[in-house]
Each structure stands twice: as structure tokens, then as C-alpha cells.
Amino acid sequence: MPKAKPVVYKVKVRDAITYILIKDHPCKILQITTPVANEKHLFVAIDIFSGKVFKAIFPLFGTCLVPRVTHTDYQLVDISDTDPYVTVLDDKGNIKDDLERPTDKALLSKINSGIIERKDVYVTVVSALGKEKIIASNILDPEAVIAFNIQAGRGNKAPTIRYVTGCPKQPGGTECGYVVMWYMKQIAMDNEMTFVKKWSKKNRKVTVAKAELDEVRCETLSHIESFL
């Protein structure tokens, strides 16, 4: 992720800013006090990633750096106690698998509860200065979405399902059917349910070898012959 360039604001009493950069730490402002004697602002802010509290003093008519902070929602696809990273989908169906698994116990408990109840789990990610962190989660009940759509006059529509892409390329232009069959076999035999991570973009197998396709051909013919 490219590093977001901080925006410079003039710090005045009438300025309304939510975030501030203190000692290269993107922080959310907790309190601003203005001592009358020396005409300076005292900022008390908390690091949006570490939770550490920082203080800084700025002249009344001085300037400060304000980081560009964004919040993005993703649908959770995969999370594991043995993997330090989680896999999510953005609103366009693109896979993102470089987010660190949250360490907050309450947040993890909420996520795990949603997974156990087989509900759609969404996570909110805060981003600033090239860093990202999962800070919240939302549990969505598909049946509740359908009920809401009916009430809103949108019909009995289920939530949009975004399919995970990543099928390996075929060695030639006439092998697509066997490649798909080979791919389906890999999914069906994936007892560890590591499909999403195994076929994510960065781990994706480029091509399927001819020998692997020949094996699929033989298995297919053998299966057909069993009905003859």
C-alpha cells in the first residue's frame, strides 16, 4: 500500500480536526486545551494502531500534520489460530490476504461467534501512513437481509455472493474442460479447507501440467465406462 501523504492544517480554535500526527504516529484526538497565557494548543491523542497516548503542544496560529485516515469494510473469508494473517474480500470481490489477525480478545471472540453461527462476518480496517489494522467487526445475518429487502420493497433478494477466483491457467486453448475438472477435484479433496489461501493470487499455480490433465482424462473415461 502506498504511503498516504499527510495533509497540513492550520491549528486554530475554530479548526475541527479528528486526527493528528505526533512523533510520526497517526493519532486520534482525545482532548484539546488552550491555555490563555501562552496562547498554545495542548493536544492529547491516542495512536490509532498501538493505543498509546501522546501529548503535543502547538502554537495557536501554527500548523500541524494531519494524516489521511480511512476506514474500509471487508467480508471475512478465512481466519485461523495458526495463521498470523486473515483473508478478506473487498466490495468488488478481490481477495486481500495481508491483514494481520487481530489480537484483541473481545474482537476475536465476536468474529469467532459469527463464524460458528454461520453468519456473514465483516471487519473494519483502519489505514494510515501505509499501515493497516482490523479494529472492529460486524455480524450480518443473511435472513435478516432478506427480511429487510422485502420490507424495503426490493423483493426476496439474498445477499450478493462473491466467488473466489484463482483457477490456474490451462496449457492450451482446448483444455479448459479438463482444467476445470482438475480444479474441482482439488477443492473436493481439500480436507483441511485451505482452499482460499491455497489459491489466492500470490500462491496461485500458473499452469496445470499435461500429466495432471491426462490423469483427469483417464479418471473421467474410467467413470464413464462404469456405466456402459
**What are the structural domains, with CATH classification, of the chain?**
7-66 (2.30.30.30), 70-151 (2.40.50.140), 176-225 (no CATH)
Q: Tens digit of pLDDT for each residue in 97-122?
A: 889 999 899 999 999 888 888 888 89
Angle, alpha carbons 86-102-81 (nearest 5°)? 60
User: Using CB atoms within 10 A of its CB, is residue 211 exposed (0-12), middle (13-18) or buried (19+)?
Assistant: exposed
**Contact assessment for residue 159 and residue 120, using Cβ atoms and an 8 Å cutoff:** yes
User: Given strand 19-22, what is the order of strands in its sheet?
Assistant: 19-22, 25-33, 40-47, 53-59
Q: What is the pLDDT of residues 35-94, one digit of tens each?
A: 666 677 788 999 999 999 999 988 777 778 888 899 999 999 888 888 899 999 888 888
Number of residues in the chain: 228
| pLDDT band (50, 70, 90) for residue 10 | low
**Residue written as grid cell 433478494:** 157
Joined together, the cell numbers standing for residue 130 give 501505509
User: What pLDDT shows up at residue 163?
Assistant: 45
pLDDT value for 65: 84
Q: What is the pLDDT of residue 11?
A: 58
Most confident of 27-41, 124-138, 192-206: 124-138
Residue 26 burial (CB < 10 Å; 0-12/13-18/19+)? buried
pLDDT at 79: 87
Q: Round to whole Å and give the CA distance between 201 and 198.
A: 9
Q: Which residue has the higher pLDDT, 61 or 128?
A: 128
Given a cut of 90, whether residue 208 has pLDDT beyond it is no
Question: Bridge-partner residues for 74, per DSSP?
Answer: 123
The 10s digit of each residue's pLDDT in 142-197 is 676 666 666 666 555 555 544 444 555 555 555 567 777 777 777 777 776 666 66
Confidence at residue 38, expressed as pLDDT on a 0 to 100 scale: 66
pLDDT of residue 166: 53
Helix (H) or strand (E) run with residue 105 in it: helix 105-116
Question: What dihedral angle (degrees, nearest 10) is formed by the CA atoms of 212, 213, 214, 215?
Answer: 50
Query: What's the whole-model pTM score?
Result: 0.60
Q: What is the mean pLDDT of residues 12-23?
A: 76
Report the 10 Å Cβ neighbour count for 161.
Answer: 8
